[in-house]
Chain A
Amino acid sequence: MRSVSFVSSCLAALSSFAAAELNLSQPLLSRQVLPSTFKPPQVFKNANLVRTTNLDKAYARETINVIIENIDSKPQAEYYLPFDASLISKVGGFEVKDKKVPEKGNFKVEIVEYDTESSTEFYLIHLPTPLAPKEQQTLSITYSILTSLFPVPASIGQSDKQYVQYTFSAYTPSAYNTEKQKTKIKFPNSDIPDYTSIPADLNADNKADPQKQGSTFTYGPYNDIPAGAEQSVSVRFEFTKPLTHASLLERDLEVSHWGGNLASEERYWLANKGASLKNHFSRVEWQKTSYLSPPTSALKALNLPLHPGALNPYFTDDIGNVSTSRFRPGKKEALLELKPRYPIFGGWKYSFRVGWDANLSTYLRKLQGDSYILKVPFLEGPRIAEGIEYARVNLRVILPEGATNVKYSTSVPIIASTTTLHKTFMDTVGRTTLSLSAINVVDDLRDRQLIVTYDYPWTAGFRKPIVITLGVFAVFAVVYVVGSLDTSIGKKKTA
């Protein structure tokens, strides 16, 4: 984790040379490093805490609704949430809102860590207004944990059901004493062969945990759990769906003022983290069952809902064009249906690229003077019921050559941003490129927008045709000069 912070601080230092622009959304670059003696000051208590873990998708989604109370004598605004160091690197989309006034927006959060080998790190939540003594506030904390489901058994037959295991603490990890808490786990179905039982004497209602209701389990309520207490619990449930994991997604958005076009290209490095095949892949068995389309742990198809008005899609991989795709343009959305060259079973990988065009008028508006504003989705990508997780997303917004004063704003937590130049067709100095990186992104963030403003003087727009014009005119001039040279041998004949 420390190397990540080192790299990000290097990036930040470099970016200040490349562009000293004001960026309105604050990337999570800053990482507070605390002394080894640090312990969160015990100024809060959790009066009531309800954690809901949703295991519908290929990653765990957690929502913690907690009533916090200031037990100090002064107003307090810093609330810490602890995570194990191995876990915090997999946490994505961490957002905190006031449960009662969610429209006020997300609170500022940052990661803080010890300066030692300690295994605990914290998310520090800044309350927008300090909480007065004895006052209470309800926080709604949501986040996803990537690569949190592991297949057990690790290898299965081609048509077998897949079971996955999820391990967590029955007591919600907290830096403060928790008076009352419980954890609800929502499974995708009620086939849950194994789970950890907790004796009834720990439960506040003297019931043996977990309490089952169909596909929902409840651990708790538990009373007066001290800060830092954990009780490890595992559940194993049926999940005969692919665990689709993108180790990297590179997404390019290219703005063309001359062509009135927004070109999008996405390059995926996918892997299925599900159970591997016990035997060799049998094409006969696959083909026999494919007409019934039973649930399978293999990834068969990906549907990309594009915005209406998408044009000229393409789908290629290392070999070349992949012909097993369909494009259905529509008024509500333009659906791009992709089928990889082979079904992607557990442990298998597939990398490919897709791209499409769109009219720029939907995405770009003109402001006063020579300024423009661009609003694009931060993430598009496949929409599949079981979800898809991205370990890293590198987004590049390639603006026209000569664009300056680039500012951006997005609600996706990003770790690095730089403004560089990108050289491609017909460029002389290169196009201004805004590069943004985000880690641990899940497909729940599909609807998040990225807004970019930039200045683009009309003179900069004429750079391309003028450069070509000057080049061609130079050829004419050379032809004229060379043609008018007298290269004949001997005396000049006079008339």
Chain B
Amino acid sequence: MSSPLLDVWDAASASPYNPSVGKGVQFTLGFALLFTSLVLSTIFGLNRSFVTLSVLGIPASLAFGFGAVYMICAVGVYV
């Protein structure tokens, strides 16, 4: 039995969805990003100024944001 959506599914057979980061590297990437964030935060903690807030704080927050998402996926809570 065919339905309109089934035809759409069959037509899209050439484009299965693959995430940009596969399951195998989620932990490595998440750990690396979180570690980078930790290092940058530590340096910022030692030398707090308006310049270090933007130079270290922004990359540290970005690394923590993406690192947290990959790490929670790596431990099995797929968000």
| Chain A residues in the interface with B (C-beta under 8 A) | 24-25, 103, 105-106, 254, 256-261, 263, 312, 357, 359-362, 364-367, 372-373, 375, 407-409, 411, 424-427, 449, 451, 453, 464-470, 472-473, 476-477, 479-480, 483-484
Contacts and interface: CB of A to CB of B under 8 A. Distances in A.
A224 to B, nearest CB: 36
Contacts of B37: 472
The 9 closest A-B pairs by CB, nearest first: A469-B65, A256-B78, A259-B78, A260-B19, A259-B73, A473-B61, A476-B57, A465-B65, A365-B12
B9 A365 contact: yes
Contact of B77 (A425, A465, A467, A480): A425
B36 interface: no
B61 A365 contact: no
A254 B41 CA distance: 34
B5 A24 contact: yes
B5 A476 contact: no
Contacts of B68: 426, 465, 468
A484 B26 CA distance: 38
A103 B18 CA distance: 34
A261 B78 contact: yes
12 contacts: A24-B5, A106-B1, A254-B78, A257-B17, A365-B16, A366-B16, A375-B9, A409-B3, A451-B9, A469-B66, A473-B58, A480-B50
Nearest to A372: B17
B2 to A, nearest CB: 8
Given A470-B61, A472-B61, 17 more contacts: A24-B3, A256-B78, A258-B79, A259-B19, A259-B23, A260-B19, A260-B21, A261-B78, A361-B17, A364-B17, A367-B12, A372-B17, A373-B8, A425-B72, A426-B68, A469-B66, A476-B53
B76 A312 contact: yes
Contacts of A469: 61-62, 64-66
B58 to A, nearest CB: 7
B26 A259 contact: yes
B32 to A, nearest CB: 15
Contacts of B66: 465, 469
Interface in B1-35: 1-6, 8-9, 12-13, 15-19, 21-23, 26
A367 B18 contact: no
A436 B63 CA distance: 39
B39 interface: no
Contacts of A357: 76, 78
B62 A365 contact: no
Interface residues of B, number: 44
A373 B5 contact: yes
A425 B21 CA distance: 20
Contacts of B26: 259
Nearest to B17: A364
B42 to A, nearest CB: 12
A220 B38 CA distance: 82
A259 B70 CA distance: 7
Given A258-B69, A263-B78, A411 B1 contact: yes
Contacts of B64: 468-469, 472
A484 to B, nearest CB: 7
A477 B50 CA distance: 9
A176 B17 CA distance: 53
A98 to B, nearest CB: 12
B22 A260 contact: yes
A479 B19 contact: no
Residue of A103, A449, A476 contacting most chain B CB atoms (<10 Å):
A476
Contacts of B13: 365
Contact of A365 (B15, B19, B72, B78): B15
Nearest to A103: B1
Contact of B4 (A257, A375, A409, A467): A409
Contacts of B18: 260, 361
Contacts of A105: 1-2
Given A258-B69, A425-B77, A426-B79, A480 B62 contact: no
Nearest to A255: B78
B48 A453 contact: no
B78 A477 contact: no
Given A470-B61, A473-B58, A476-B44, A407 B53 contact: no
B69 A465 contact: yes
Contacts of B12: 365-367, 373
Contacts of A424: 79
Given A362-B16, A426-B79, A465-B68, A477 B8 contact: no
A258 B29 CA distance: 13
Contacts of A408: 5
Contact of A258 (B41, B44, B53, B73): B73
A476 B73 CA distance: 25
B5 A366 contact: no
B50 to A, nearest CB: 7
